[in-house]
Chains A and B, each alone.
Chain A
Amino acid sequence: MDLTTSITGFVALYIFMLAAFTGYEIIGRVPAILHTPLMSGSNFVHGIVVVGAIYALMNATTPLEQGIGFVGVLFGAANAGGGYVVTERMLEMFKPTDKKKA
Chain B
Amino acid sequence: MNPHVIIDASYFAAAFLFIYGLKRMSSPVTARSGIVVAGWGMAVATLASFLYYFGVPAEVKPHLTVNIILAAVALAIGLAWAWRSGKTVPMTAMPQMVAIYNGLGGGAAALIAAVELLGAHANGYVELVVTIVGALIGSISFSGSVIAWAKLDGRINKTWRIKGQQVMNATVMLIALAIGAWIIFGMQGHAPALLVIGFFAAALVFGVLMTMPIGGADMPVVISLYNAFTGLAVGMEGFVLQNPALMIAGMVVGSAGTLLTLLMAKAMNRSVSNVIFSNFGVVGDEGQGEIKGSLKPAEAGDAAVQMRYASKVIIAPGYGLAVAQAQHKLYEFVKLLQEHGVEVKFAIHPVAGRMPGHMNVLLAEAGVPYDIIYDLEDINGEFATADVAVVVGANDTVNPAARTNKSSPIYGMPILNVDQAKQVYVIKRGQGKGYSGVENELFYKDNCNLVYGDAQKVMVAMIQAVKSLEG
A and B associate in one complex: yes
A-side interface residues toward B, CB under 8 Å?
1-4, 6-7, 9, 12, 15-16, 19-24, 26-62, 64-66, 68-99
When the two chains form their complex, are residues A59 and B87 in contact, meaning their CB atoms are under 8 A apart?
no
When the two chains form their complex, are residues A61 and B50 in contact, meaning their CB atoms are under 8 A apart?
no
B339 on interface, CB distance cutoff 8 Å: no
When the two chains form their complex, are residues B237 and A50 in contact, meaning their CB atoms are under 8 A apart?
no
When the two chains form their complex, are residues A74 and B98 in contact, meaning their CB atoms are under 8 A apart?
no
- Given A7-B244, A54-B52, residue A79 in contact with residue B75 (CB < 8 A): no
B163 on interface, CB distance cutoff 8 Å: no
Partner of B60, one of A36, A39, A59: A59
- Given A4-B4, A48-B14, A65-B119, residue A82 in contact with residue B97 (CB < 8 A): yes
For the complex, count residues of B whose C-beta is within 8 A of A. Answer: 129
B421 to chain A, nearest CB (A): 22
When the two chains form their complex, are residues A46 and B253 in contact, meaning their CB atoms are under 8 A apart?
yes
B469 on interface, CB distance cutoff 8 Å: no
When the two chains form their complex, are residues A7 and B247 in contact, meaning their CB atoms are under 8 A apart?
yes
Residues of B contacting A60 with CB < 8 Å? 60, 63, 67, 115
5 nearest A-B pairs in the assembled complex, by CB-CB distance: A77-B78, A85-B86, A81-B82, A35-B357, A82-B82
B188 on interface, CB distance cutoff 8 Å: no
Q: Is the interface of A mostly helix, strand, loop or mixed?
A: helix
Stretch at the interface among B259-267, B306-314, B382-390, B428-436: B259-267
Residues of A contacting B75 with CB < 8 Å? 50, 54, 73-74, 77
A22 to chain B, nearest CB (A): 5
B23 on interface, CB distance cutoff 8 Å: yes
When the two chains form their complex, are residues A23 and B5 in contact, meaning their CB atoms are under 8 A apart?
no
- Given A52-B246, A55-B49, residue A33 in contact with residue B375 (CB < 8 A): yes
B102 on interface, CB distance cutoff 8 Å: yes
When the two chains form their complex, are residues B252 and A52 in contact, meaning their CB atoms are under 8 A apart?
no
- Given A36-B356, A38-B26, A39-B98, residue A85 in contact with residue B83 (CB < 8 A): yes
Instruction: Please measure, in the bound complex, the distance between the C-alpha atom of A83 and the C-alpha atom of B38, giving whole angstroms.
Output: 11
B393 on interface, CB distance cutoff 8 Å: no
When the two chains form their complex, are residues B250 and A48 in contact, meaning their CB atoms are under 8 A apart?
yes
B372 to chain A, nearest CB (A): 7
When the two chains form their complex, are residues B256 and A54 in contact, meaning their CB atoms are under 8 A apart?
no
Residues of B contacting A65 with CB < 8 Å? 115, 118-119
Instruction: Please measure, in the bound complex, the distance between the C-alpha atom of A50 and the C-alpha atom of B35, giving whole angstroms.
Output: 18
Residues of B contacting A88 with CB < 8 Å? 32, 35-36, 39
When the two chains form their complex, are residues A68 and B22 in contact, meaning their CB atoms are under 8 A apart?
no
- Given A33-B357, A79-B104, A94-B370, residue A46 in contact with residue B250 (CB < 8 A): yes
- Given A4-B8, A52-B234, A56-B241, residue A24 in contact with residue B256 (CB < 8 A): yes
Stretch at the interface among B167-175, B360-368, B439-447, B458-466: B360-368
Q: Which of B29, B108, B234 has the most CB of A within 10 A?
A: B108
Residues of B contacting A80 with CB < 8 Å? 42, 46, 79, 82, 105
Instruction: Please measure, in the bound complex, the distance between the C-alpha atom of A60 and the C-alpha atom of B61, giving whole angstroms.
Output: 10
Which residues 1-51 of B sit at the A interface, judged by CB distance below 8 A?
1-2, 4-5, 8, 11, 14, 18-19, 21-23, 25-29, 31-32, 34-36, 38-39, 42, 45-46, 49-50
- What is the chain A residue whose CB lies nearest that of B105? A79
When the two chains form their complex, are residues A97 and B369 in contact, meaning their CB atoms are under 8 A apart?
yes
B291 on interface, CB distance cutoff 8 Å: no
When the two chains form their complex, are residues B26 and A34 in contact, meaning their CB atoms are under 8 A apart?
yes
Partner of B81, one of A53, A78, A83: A78
When the two chains form their complex, are residues A90 and B94 in contact, meaning their CB atoms are under 8 A apart?
yes
Extra 9 A-B pairs, beta carbons < 8 Å, given A27-B260, A32-B356, A93-B361: A3-B8, A24-B255, A52-B234, A55-B49, A58-B52, A75-B78, A77-B77, A81-B81, A95-B364
